[in-house]
Amino acid sequence: MAGLRIVGLGGSLREASRSRAALAVAVNGASAAGASVELLDLRELGLPMYSAALEADPPAVVRTLIDTCYEADGMLWSSPMYNGSVSGSFKNAIDWLHLLGTREPPYLHDEVIGLISAAGGTQGLQVVNTMEFSVRSLRGWAVPYVVPVPRATRVFAESGAVQDELVEQQLHMLGEEVVRVAERFSRDATLHRQAECDDTAERVATPGLVSG
């Protein structure tokens, strides 16, 4: 749908990151579904470690990260599996989003999020489940469809090209799904604002009606 903005966040610090390659395919899926897209590559960003001491005057790269994530209608997150969980660099990016807690609405309020992992083995769903805790803490909504890519070394070439057509389709579909659900959320928000306007108009037009 035109006008929706979907932001991809992830990849590892490895140059030929498979989790970033997976993210790029899903972001393309969102674009094909009509959204405007942006990919925040953790290697390129080079975020400092989260520190409360930096909160008052965060570095420019942190401001870019949090503003871009805040302004999105939906996101796609992708992390490699490191020791049974998300990577430290991915979690660090998520920790910076804590700064959005003072905004109104706070955090990633009502953003729709699609989850991806790339694992050497077959337990990538653990990464996706761990991410979901963070989605909830940030007031987002994870779409039920997820793509934990197993045996990622076989699925992606060093160039980042996907060598498994089924995985490519799944990632593409996840991007489309985030756009589809984000479109429903944005329609609801429009209806909600419309209802508020109607309510205000009624109160103004009805003398003596106590506004609540």
Ligand X SMILES: Cc1cc2nc3c(=O)[nH]c(=O)nc-3n(C[C@H](O)[C@H](O)[C@H](O)COP(=O)(O)O)c2cc1C
Provide, rounded to whole angstroms, the least separation between the CB of residue 125 and ligand X.
11
Does the protein bind ligand X through residue 12 (CB under 6 A)? yes
Q: Which stretch binds ligand X (CB under 6 A): 15-23, 35-43, 48-56, 187-195?
A: 15-23
Dihedral (Cα; 72, 134, 132, 74), 10-degree rounding: 0
Size of residue set near ligand X by CB under 6 A: 19
Per-residue burial over 114-145, b if 16 or more Cβ lie within 10 Å, else e, is bbbbbbeeeebeebbebbbebbeebebbbbee
Residues paired with 117 in a beta bridge: 79, 148
User: Which member of 4, 9, 19, 111 binds ligand X (CB under 6 A)?
Assistant: 19
Does position 118 bind ligand X by CB under 6 A? yes
Binding status of residue 18 toward ligand X by CB under 6 A: yes
Q: In 57-164, which ranges are continuous DSSP H helix?
A: 60-71, 88-96, 125-137, 152-155
Q: Identify the residue among 4, 7, 8, 17 touching ligand X (CB under 6 A).
A: 17
Query: Radius of gyration of the chain from Cα atoms?
Result: 19
Site for ligand X contains 171 (CB under 6 A): no
Name the site residues for ligand X (rule: CB under 6 A).
Answer: 11-12, 14, 17-20, 80-84, 118-121, 123, 152-153
